Amino acid sequence: MERLLSIDQAAEVLGTTSRFPRRLVAERRIRFVKVGRHVRIPAAALQEFIDSGTVEPVSVRRWGSGRRVA
């Protein structure tokens, strides 16, 4: 069974206040599980959210051809 995180635990992982994960849940921008009246976020869903927002650096060559290469 996958580990389920509380809103506060998810906020700690993200480095935010609990308001941000609550907003993600309210806007249906992240998968979540209702356990009775409690909301839990699967650890994998939180990692997917982080991965989807990760921007890889772009290599830029500044000398040589005179043009930028992405």
Q: Domain for residue 10, yes or no?
A: yes
Q: Domain for residue 57, yes or no?
A: no
Query: What is the count of structural domains for the chain?
Result: 1
Token pair, residue 30, equals 């992240």
Contact 44, 3 (CB under 8 A): no
Q: Domain for residue 64, yes or no?
A: no
* pLDDT for 59: 83
Element (H, E) at 1: none
Mean pLDDT of 32-45: 97
Mean pLDDT of 50-70: 77
Say what the pTM is: 0.77
With 0-12 CB in 10 A as exposed, 13-18 as middle and 19+ as buried, what is 12? middle
Residue 14 in this model has a pLDDT that exceeds 80: yes
* pLDDT for 17: 97
